[in-house]
Amino acid sequence: MNAPAPLKILTACAEKYALCCVSGEMEIQWSVDVLQAFAEQRGLVVELGQDKVQDVIAAAFIWARALAATDEAEAAASPSDYVNQLLMQWELDDERDNWKWTGQLPPARQAAVIEKPQYRTAQSTIDAFHFVLSLGDPERLAAWLRNHPDDAPALFKSVEAA
């Protein structure tokens, strides 16, 4: 199946830009912005859809990274360079780093799950409650409790325990 000329041009440009990005000659963001603008100007976004355009661009960058990783692996395989061989072997053995040598995408970062600590009434709040309670003024106690609704169950337990 023959791809339309603008799609072939986009693919070729994406591959060249990706190689330039991998070698450090271009910034990725600038390259992707230019490729996106080209796709929009040529009507590829309307014709093929944004997802297909992004797939074409992403495929070029994946290909370029794999090519660069292969070149790095071959260069590091020189027997005279023991340090690079050792580093390469360590990174290949570590699932977090082996993508640097295999051309795969880096693993997605796992978001740390932070458990919210269970609410606990501060001792100073309990002490203040007992002071207001000792005043014997029901209206003042009611007003004070309205300002501490989350603490009310623990405060009542402290009274029951006393």
pLDDT (tens place) for every residue of the chain, 162 residues total: 455 588 888 888 888 888 888 888 888 888 889 899 999 999 989 988 998 888 888 888 888 888 777 766 665 555 456 667 777 788 888 888 888 877 788 887 777 778 888 888 888 998 999 899 899 898 998 898 899 888 888 888 877 776
| Spatial CA neighbour of 9 closest among 49, 83, 60 | 60
Length of the chain: 162
Separation between Cα atoms, residue 7 and residue 79, nearest integer Å: 43
Q: What is the pTM of this model?
A: 0.42
Distance, in Å, from the CA atom of 35 to the CA atom of 29, rounded to the nearest integer, reads 10
**For position 73, what pLDDT does the model report?**
60
Looking at 42-108, list the stretches that DSSP marks H as alpha helix, in order from N- to C-terminal side. 44-48, 50-76, 82-93, 99-102
User: What's the pLDDT at 139?
Assistant: 92
**Distance separating alpha carbons of residues 71 and 77, to the nearest angstrom:** 10
Distance, CA of 126 to chain centre: 42
Cα gap 24→86, rounded to integer Å: 25
